[in-house]
Structure 1
Amino acid sequence: MNYRGFLVIFLMLTSFLRTYAGDAFVFTTESDGEYIGKYVFVLKDPTKKLTFVDVRHRPDLFQRSGQEVPNLGVQDVNNWIRFEIENLSTDEKLVVNLSHANIDEVIFYSLKNGDIDSTTMKLGGDMGARDYPHQFFLFEVPIKKGEKMTCFIKLRSGTQLSAPISIHSPKGLIRTLLNTDIFSAIYIGLMLSMILYNIFLYFSTREPHYYVYVNYIFWVAVAQLAVLGVIEPIFGVYNSWVSSRFLTFSGAMSGIGAIFFVKSFLHTKKNAPRLHVLLNVFLVGYLVAIGLLGLNVVIPAYKMVNVVAGGGSTIVLILAFRLSSQKYQQTKYFLYAWCVFLVSVLIYVLKDYNVLPYNFFTLRSVQIGSVFEAILLSFALGDKINIYRKEKDESQARELETSLENERLIREQNVVLEQKVEERTHELTQSNESLQTTLTHLKETQSQLVEAEKMASLGQLTAGVAHEINNPINFVSSNVAPLKRDIKMIWETLEEIEKIALNDTLSYDEKQLAIAAYKEELDIEYLKIEVDFLLKGMQDGAQRTAEIVKSLRIFSRVDEDTLKYADINEGLESTMVILNSLMQNGIEVQKDFGDLPKVECYAGKLNQVFLNMLTNAIYAINKKFESKVGGKLMIHTGILDNNTSIYVKIVDNGIGIPDDIRERIFDPFFTTKDVGEGTGLGMSIAYNTIAKHQGKILVDSTLGEGTTFTLIIPVQQNI
């Protein structure tokens, strides 16, 4: 070898000695547990092909870390770390502590006096197989006082990778791990108590906010337990595929839980619609990240979760400040909680970039912040529920005051309407004494009705009912005189026949001839026919009167305030009988009654609904056709497909309902009829009555063509 060759070798050795002289970490009792990041050298291998043999003899590939805890980022590379240890303590073995619980694979190489030893640990492997069964990666190295040792660590991870490496004596390691485990136990206890406490509040109050809140803090706790690395030892599940993805998955789920809690707590759909939509975008981002995990795209999924979490947290903070400035008192604790958590995250991130020192507080800042966040959010939730209850009590008080005022108005109106009904009833009683019994019955029936509209409707229909009853009674009255005459003739005939029969001067044949002559003179056969005809007419009139009275009795229902099973078809029939006087010539009535079961209802109130609906239909038809031919009124009943409800459909081809008033037809006192033709209470009472039966009214109308009202009524009332 010539002079130049020796010179090159000398320069290389000089460079090597200058680079690595004094770079060994000197372990003493005082340095127990100290981070050695400033003594390590880092190599990133993007090819992931370099072996230990390759890197052992290539110190030029390594670069000094310069950080107390090296931050290796999130990259799909193999990370190599090289450092030297010199033991000046009395311990004959030391422990290298890589206190990071979420590294996919760690291979530790120790080189002393030419001897190489290696240990491989993987995330998700059985911790019982390790020298130290702990979530941290711990490697025991035999090194006596005064000896030196070179160590290499190969790291690979799909999440944020930092290398907090410290050297411990066995006793110092126990103290360090004990502090870590005590903190983890305290954290688990606090978060578990918050979860159980709020679960208890949810089952006590049934407030959905508590359910959403418990879901959120549960996933926050799970995510932080994954950061601490205690998920596997707690549940005993060791699977590399699951463990390498669980931190990202739990982070995404905690973000999803946070979005749902923010939506629920701040009512973003109502208070901030645009930010509500933006939160949905972040929600999709989390779901995409979870999908990428399932497709084994681990690192992009982790980065996406971090980006979405950062953006979502900023948006939520802006939203909280905005709502707080709008004097939403319930956002006060929420804003405090969110600020505390974000500050804790910021401390944790600044620690990774050596802006803040790497110590116990900065390392556990996120766990501490999440505990305070959970407590403050619990306060916020309790404060929000108290505000809701106060607003609810005030609303109920206002509703009660309004209800009492409405009750007073209805009582006054009932008094006025009752007076009008009594006046009209009295006038009709004076004009026709023959209807006194029927009118008295109507008066007793009307006294049982509490709805003002039914009283007014019966008053308006009294004249028509009187007309309906008067016709058959007049028919009976007109048959009485001829029937008396015919009966008188029959008695006279009997007397004449008796005289002939008792006349002893006449023979039997002469008596028969005399009787036959008298019968022929009276036309006794015609007399029989006439008597039968008169009796039949009186019988028909009496039956018609009884039918009308029965219909009135069915319609009025003295038991209207009691739930009772009733025949809906029978109620419709009775209502049509009462409305017969309103039916002008030319109105064609079509009835298609289905086979209905008896319905549990307030029968009298439903009859009033039918009366109002049919009266309006007849009015609309008469308004359009004005007694001309062409009016049609159709009534259909049937059972719905689910067999739990029945329907009554009333169809007319009248004037229809204009679109601009269709939404107002159920308003109290709203009517399109002329003055004196309607009170405007009929449809309002109908709507409230059907609502009381837990049913509904459907309206379909075309102006100028007609209207269809469909009443849907449950067969049984769940009260």
Structure 2
Amino acid sequence: MKILQLRFLYGFVFFCQLVGSNVLYAQKKQEIKQSGGLVYSIKVLEDKDGRLTINNISNQKFQPLLTNAPNYGLTNSVYWFKIDMINHTNEQDFLFKIQNATISNSIFYTVNHGLINTQVIKNTTPLKQREFNSQYPLFKVTLLPDSALTCYLRISSNNVMDLPMSLKSDVSILDDINLDQWFFGIYSGIILIMFLYNIFIYLTVKDDQYLYYVFYILVVGLTQACLKGYAVKFLWPNNEWLIRQAPHIITACSGIFSILFTFNFLHVRQYAHKVYIVLNTLIVIYFVSIAVYLSGGYIAGQKILQANTSLVSVVILSCGFYTYKKGYKPALFFNISWSFFLGGVIIYILKDAGVLPVNNFTSNAILIGSGLEATLLSFALADKINIYKKEKERSQEETVRALQENERIIREQNVILETKVNERTLELKAANEELNEALEDLKQAQTQLVESEKMASLGQLTAGIAHEINNPINFVTSNVNPLKRDVGQLLDVITSLEELSVSDLAVADKQKRIDELKEEMDFDYLKVEISHLLNGIHEGASRTAEIVKGLRIFSRVDEDDLKRADINAGLDSTLVIVNNLLNNKIKVTKNYADLPLIECYPGKLNQVFLNLLTNAIHAIKSVFGDNTGGELTISTYFDADNVFVKITDNGTGMDADTQKKIFEPFFTTKEVGEGTGLGMSIAYNTIKKHNGQIFVESAVGEGTTFILELPIVHKIQAT
């Protein structure tokens, strides 16, 4: 039954629009209009080509009108009206009014004794240039008492040709205009109050529905202001572009915002997803109508707008009934408000069709319906808030009950849990003690492993030092005995010279004896040999001092404080330690830059250098053994913030999997017993302690490169 009622309602709406958009002619008799003692009749002629002029219009055949408010809809035709009037009053000043501010062009001709007086009014004519300060076309008619007059009216328009016409005294017409303005003032007040009230609520509750409603009623109010001409009168009286384009654009925006408000208020996407898609399509059509209208297709744009608006009205009202049927109660107010608006539209259309009389109520039916719609929609939002409030209160009550139930359950569970916690506490305490013991054992094992790595390094260090010191010391000791022998010979010569000096021999004989002694012991060779032996001892001692200096640099013990240290010196001291591993078979190339001193722990960095160099030497020996061909390159360089140490070998190299694991504790590529697997892990942690980075580049069979990046100024990291 409801579906049948809806179909009847929609059919009635379309029928009324169809009736209102057709030309109304009198087929049987001419209708005589009376306004007091002023009698006039109106006839109409359609000029489809727009070629007729005032000079040849009198010979044309006019058709009488049944109503003084014809509506010809959207048309490219020009309409001529012939007005015959007789004045039976004592007045002579009258006004002919067309109550439609959107008429594009209207020309009023007064024919009196062969003289033609012309009055032209366009909708783009600024009000200040019109004789009367009214948005409606008003034409002055002077008709003496007891006389007759014939006038012609030429109308063409890009908008709906709705032509409510009246001929009255100038005072009566101006009173009608003031009354019309009074009606619109009431309507504007309602819209303004609803606008301010709901925008205040939106700013208070931050509900988007109020924001959509505010925009909706704003464009609805502007639409009515455009259609009634008050936008031209009060908002943009001198802007021809807005006068011509604004009614269409704002009417389309009214439809768009009505859809957006419907989306939000009725939750269309949730309750009627297919309707949601349809309405989105209709929004696109609104934009199409605007584009067509702005491009110059006025009639086509208006027709698209009219058809789309009719369809939107039907879809929105259907959606309102559908969502209400689905159980969404706020849709009831929505349906009632839209019904009032559509009722106003229907009354207005029936007025244009001549079914209802033309009066203040029927002329302002759309304003009344729109005002009631805006008011009821505001009530609908308020009702929705009340529903939300009740739902919130009900939800809060349910929440309180649930919390009370939870509290009871929690109290009961607390007793059970407390017992279980006490039991578990004892178990956890025992387990914790076991874990502490295991942790302590693990720490001791880790400490022992680290110490093992250090001892391994120390053993290597000791062997290197012993080897390096042994060579120069052997050189010194091997020169001591020959030097003692040569010194003994010198002492013997000195003794002989003492004896010779106290003898009684002549000077010549003494000189001869001395020469014999020098020749006997080969004195010149003895001097050369002693010089060589002393130089050898000096070189051995210097080499020993150099080794001791390198050892002192390497084994820095000031690890608790940061020191400014020379990285190049640390590398050289480490090379001294590993020199015995090179065995004169591996070529070492040093490319040192003139580095700035950096803040670091020098001893720990030397340990890193030692680990990297020994690994490199081991990799080289794995390829070349005791043969030559191995190369070890050490480079240093720096930028504004960091120094870089690059150690490259041409050893075995590493694959990608090995590179990923190289810094993991206990990972080693050496044979069992040759390493603990902690060297690279210690190196990684040491560089990390310096806030630096360590990078590895390697390929199997091509060698390996380690790059250390160390900050020049040690930065304390936040923990």
TM-score band, normalised by shorter chain:
0.5 to 0.7
The match for 1:136 is 136
| Shift in Å, 1:175 | 2.0
Question: What residue number does 1:96 align with?
Answer: 96
Secondary structure of the structure 2 residue equivalent to 1:299? helix
Cα distance in 2 between the residues matched to 1:56 and 1:239: 37
Aligned-residue offset at 1:192 = 0.9
Separation of aligned partners in 2, 1:463 and 1:345 = 90
1:328 matches 2:328: yes
Cα distance, 1:275 vs structure 2: 0.9
Give how far 1:97 is off.
1.4
Q: Residues 231 and 420 (structure 1 numbering): CA distance in 2 closer, same or farther, change over 3 Å?
A: same
- Counterpart of 2:179 in structure 1 is 179
Q: State the one-letter code of the partner of 1:465.
A: L
- Aligned partner of residue 55 in structure 2, secondary structure: helix
Q: Which residue of 2 aligns with 1:50?
A: 52
Task: Please list the CA deviations of residues 41-71 of structure 1 after superposition, one character each: whole Å capped at 9, or x if unmatched.
Answer: 2122221222211213334xx2222223222
**Mapping 1:597-608, distance limit 5 Å:** none
Instruction: After TM superposition, give the deviation of residue 414 of structure 1 in Å.
Output: 6.7
Cα offsets for 1:234-274 (capped at 9, x unmatched): 12432334323322222111100100000000001111111
Q: 1:295 to 1:110 in 2, by over 3 A?
A: same
Q: C-alpha distance in 1, partners of 2:267/2:419?
A: 48
Q: Does residue 1:465 correspond to 2:465, yes or no?
A: no
Q: Which residue of 1 aligns with 2:36?
A: 30
- Provide the alpha-carbon RMSD of the alignment: 3.8
Q: Does 1:423 align with 2:426?
A: yes
Counterpart CA distance in 2 for 1:429 and 1:101 is 92
Q: What per-residue deviation string (whole Å, max 9, x for no partner) do you get for residues 129-167 of structure 1?
A: 222111111111111012111111111112221222211
**Partners in 2 of 1:185 and 1:168 — Cα distance?**
24
AA paired with 1:468?
Answer: L
Q: Give the letter for the 1:100 counterpart.
A: N
Distance 2:128 2:29 in 1: 35
- Give the superposition deviation at 1:402: 5.2
Cα displacement (A) at 1:380: 0.3
Aligned-residue offset at 1:430: 7.5
Map of 2:290 onto structure 1: 290
Residue identity matched to 1:138: L
The separation in 2 between residues aligned to 1:378 and 1:299, in whole angstroms, is 35
In 2, distance between residues paired with 1:258 and 1:429?
Answer: 69
In the alignment, does 2:349 pair up with 1:349?
yes
- Partners in 2 of 1:426 and 1:69 — Cα distance? 99
Inter-CA distance 323–429: structure 2 relative to 1 (3 Å threshold): closer
Task: Pick closer, same or farther for the CA change 1:419–1:145 going to 2, 3 Å.
Answer: same
1:469, distance to aligned residue in structure 2 (A): 4.7
Q: CA deviation at 1:225?
A: 0.9
SS class of match (1:291): helix
- What is the one-letter code of the residue matched to 1:187? Y
CA distance in 1 between counterparts of 2:297 and 2:418 reads: 79
Correspondence 1:217 to 2:217: yes
Cα deviation, 1:629-680, whole Å, max 9, x if unaligned, reads xxxxxxxxxxxxxxxxxxxxxxxxxxxxxxxxxxxxxxxxxxxxxxxxxxxx
| Aligned-partner SS, 1:186 | helix
- Residues 25 and 84, structure 1, Cα contact 8 Å, conserved in 2: no
Distance in 2, matches of 1:163 and 1:52, equals: 20
Q: 2:222, 2:63 → 1: CA distance? A: 37
TM-score normalized by structure 1? 0.55
Secondary structure, counterpart of 1:52 in structure 2: coil
Structure 1 alignment gaps of length 5 or more: 1-19, 432-460, 477-719
- Aligned-partner SS, 1:222: helix
Contact 1:125 1:239 in 2 (8 A): no
- Cα distance in 2 for partners of 1:467, 1:226 equals 90
Counterpart code for 2:439: V
Change (3 A) 1:171 1:402: same
Cα 1:358–1:28, aligned 2, differ >3 Å: closer, same or farther? closer
Counterpart contact for 2:236–2:243, Cα < 8 Å: no
Partners of 1:163 and 1:473 in 2: CA distance: 104
Distance change (3 Å), C-alpha of 1:475 and 1:299: closer
User: For 1:374-433, what per-residue CA distance to the aligned partner results, in whole angstroms no more than 9, with x for missing partners?
Assistant: 1100000011122123323433554566567678659749747743552234425777xx
Q: Distance in 2 between matches of 1:301 and 1:422?
A: 82
How far apart are 1:467 and its partner, in Å? 4.6
| Residue 222 of structure 1, CA deviation | 0.6
Does the CA-based 8 Å contact 2:108-2:153 persist in structure 1? yes
* 1:200-244 CA distance string (max 9 Å, x none): 111111111000001111111111111211101112432334323
How far, CA to CA, are the matches of 1:26 and 1:320 in structure 2?
A: 46
The answer to whether the Cα contact below 8 Å between 1:24 and 1:84 also exists between their aligned partners in 2 is: no
Deviation of 1:334 after TM superposition, in Å, equals 0.9
Matched, 1:126 2:100: no
Contact 2:184–2:367 (CA under 8 A) maintained in structure 1 = no
**What is the alpha-carbon distance in structure 2 between the residues aligned to residue 128 and residue 88 of structure 1?**
34
The alpha-carbon distance between structure 1 residues 409 and 108, as it changes in their structure 2 partners (threshold 3 A), is same
Deviation at 1:373, TM superposition (A): 0.4
Distance 1:48 1:242, change over 3 A: farther
Change (3 A) 1:109 1:427: same
Look up the match of 1:657. none
1:40 equivalent among 42, 57, 61: 42
Change (3 A) 1:416 1:280: farther
- Counterparts of 2:57 and 2:440, CA distance in 1: 115
Q: Distance in 1 between matches of 2:113 and 2:381?
A: 64
Q: How far apart, CA to CA, are the structure 2 residues paired with 1:364 and 1:326?
A: 35
Distance (whole Å) between structure 2 residues aligned to residue 293 and residue 262 of structure 1: 26
- 1:67 maps to 2:67: yes
Distance 1:57 1:199, change over 3 A: same
Question: Residues 236 and 321 from structure 1, CA distance in 2 versus in 1: closer, same or farther, beyond 3 angstroms?
Answer: closer
Please state whether the residue corresponding to 1:153 is helix, strand or coil.
Answer: strand
Alpha-carbon distance in 2 for matches of 1:52, 1:196: 52
| Contact kept in structure 1, 2:96 and 2:165, CA below 8 Å | yes
Count of matched residue pairs: 432
Whether contact under 8 Å (2:127, 2:237) holds in the other structure is no
Against the structure 1 CA distance between its residues 423 and 112, is the aligned structure 2 distance closer, same or farther, given a 3 Å change threshold? same
Q: Which amino acid aligns with 1:121?
A: I
CA contact (8 A) 1:95 1:141 kept: yes
Aligned in 2, Cα 1:400/1:54: closer, same or farther, shift over 3 Å? same
How is 1:256-275 mapped onto 2 (pairs within 5 angstroms)? 256-275=256-275
Aligned mates of 2:29, 2:276 — CA distance in 1: 55
Contact 2:50 2:77 in 1 (8 A): yes
Change (3 A) 1:310 1:429: closer
Deviations 1:583-636 (A, max 9, x none): xxxxxxxxxxxxxxxxxxxxxxxxxxxxxxxxxxxxxxxxxxxxxxxxxxxxxx
For the pair 1:108 / 2:108, whether they are aligned, the reply is yes
Q: 1:359 — aligned with what?
A: 359
The 8 Å contact of residues 112 and 148 in structure 1, kept in 2 or not, is answered as no
Distance in 2 (CA, whole Å) between partners of 1:263 and 1:29 is: 49
1:42, 1:79 within 8 Å by CA — same for their partners in 2?
yes
2: CA distance between counterparts of 1:190 and 1:429? Answer: 77
Q: Identity of counterpart residues, as a percentage?
A: 28
In 2: Cα distance, 1:83 partner to 1:364 partner:
26
CA distance in 2, matches of 1:475, 1:101: 99
Superposition pairs for residues 566-605 of structure 1, below 5 Å? none
Q: Is contact 1:106–1:154 with CA below 8 Å preserved after alignment?
A: yes
CA contact (8 A) 2:30 2:64 kept: no
Q: How far did 1:102 drift?
A: 1.2
